[in-house]
Amino acid sequence: MKKFIKKINWKYAFGELFLIFLGITMAIWFNNWNEHQKSKRIEVKSIKEIKNAIHQDLLDIEENIAGFGARVALYERIIRHIKNDLPLDKDLQAQLPYLQGITTFLSNIGPYETLKSRGLETISNDSIRLKISLYYDFEYEKIQTNERQHYEHHINYMKPMMLKSFDMSNNEIKPLNYDELFHDFEFKQTISWALRIDQYMLDLYKRLSKKARSLIKELDDEIIRIE
């Protein structure tokens, strides 16, 4: 037994053990590196999808800013006419079609739902992950909630008032009796409340536009950093 031990080439044996250890270590390192690269590709893909979705949102946001802005301008003009007892003029007549308007935010929320199914931790940057969540779960939800008030006011008050007090034939909107309508307290209240709601919605949309543009810039920077 002692003779057998003496015949072992310890230098060779340790060399073999070292090679085995090195091989296992390299295999683990390569597997970790490969998993990291895979996670990075998924993260970049997720960020790009979110960025493109928010960019699409901006198109609808800008249209809605224009829509709410036009209605706010109309309501303010109507209030001035009521307060100053002004006659119906061409400028007011040209704006009256905006009384029909209803604005709805059509957000492309699919990529965010996909990200949640992958796990929000797919986004490794805590700050970016938080801002994406706030955009969809707070800012978007705030728009949706307040837009329901805008819609309900239109359906319950604006539309019945228009059907009752305006001639909407021949693709025009004309008051059936301008003087009577513009001296009607209920009409003034309806327009004043619509002005309040739409002005608030306009402010929300302008805020969302700024946040969307800022987030797109940060997502672009994050993509560059990761890649």
Tell me how far apart the alpha carbons of residues 124 and 46 are, in angstroms, rounded to a whole number.
Answer: 11
Cβ–Cβ under 8 Å, residues 113 and 137? no
Q: What is the pLDDT of residue 39?
A: 79
Average pLDDT of the residues of the chain: 88
13-37 average pLDDT score:
71
Match 């009521």 to its residue by tokens.
82
C-alpha dihedral (96, 193, 84, 87), degrees to nearest 10: 20
User: What is the pLDDT at residue 217?
Assistant: 96
Q: Is 1 helix (H, G, I), strand (E, B) or coil?
A: coil
- DSSP three-state, residue 175: strand
- pLDDT score, position 17: 73
Q: What's the confidence (pLDDT) of residue 10?
A: 62
Residue 110, pLDDT > 50, answer: yes
Q: What is the pLDDT of residue 9?
A: 62
- Structure pTM? 0.81
